[in-house]
Structure 1
Amino acid sequence: MEQQDPEAFYSRLREELLNDTEWPSKYLFKFIIPTDTEKIAQIQAIFDNTGAVVESKQSKTGKYTSLSITVYYDHPDQVIEKYVAVGKVEGVISL
């Protein structure tokens, strides 16, 4: 699988968010991570003090946890900033 240039990805995402969403707006992040309380806490800490609503659900086997995080933002740059921060947590898949 070809590795995508993160700068190009975030630039395209920013364009799409500007064109397809009326700001300020709620935004839904979805992440899948190996079930690890430390990693889950790291992601939750990234969204601390943002008014985020966090929902988590373990897979049937308990090996993975999905996190759905809804936050109200004024601008798409705030969304991208969170994706960049969460991307630093090892093993996270952003959907």
Structure 2
Amino acid sequence: MNTENKLLKLLEENKEWPLRYMFKFVAPNDDAIVAKIKEILPKSEKTTAKLSKNGKYIAITCIAFMTSAKQIVDITNEVNSIKGVMTL
């Protein structure tokens, strides 16, 4: 089972919908990459960004109200398609 299917299965089995979900990604500290990530993430009440100690990377966290496991997986996959981005 690939990672996408595992995440989908876990979310569908262990959560009641709708729910608040926390997306967390680490990316190179590049304005273009950060802008792409923020475009993909859902509009939420809380999105934060924190630089690493050396400023080379940035951690982006978004807490948003989600209506389905598929919605979460789709957003995660789209952000993961950006070069250099890691999901936490």
TM-score bracket, normalised by the shorter chain, equals over 0.9
Alignment of 1:12-91 (within 5 A): 12-47=6-41, 50-52=42-44, 53-91=46-84
Query: Does 2:35 align with 1:8?
Result: no
Structure 2: runs of 5+ lacking an equivalent: none
Tell me, what secondary structure is at the counterpart of 1:82? helix
Deviation at 1:51, TM superposition (A): 2.7
CA contact under 8 A between 1:34 and 1:64: conserved in structure 2? yes
Structure 1: runs of 5+ lacking an equivalent: 1-6
Runs of 4+ in 1 over 6 A off after TM superposition: none
Deviation at 1:18, TM superposition (A): 1.0
Deviation at 1:9, TM superposition (A): 1.1
The alignment's TM-score, normalised by the length of structure 1, stands at 0.86
Identity of aligned residues (%): 29
- Tell me the number of residue pairs that the alignment of Structure 1 and Structure 2 aligns: 87
Aligned alpha-carbon RMSD (Å): 1.2
CA contact under 8 A between 1:35 and 1:58: conserved in structure 2? yes
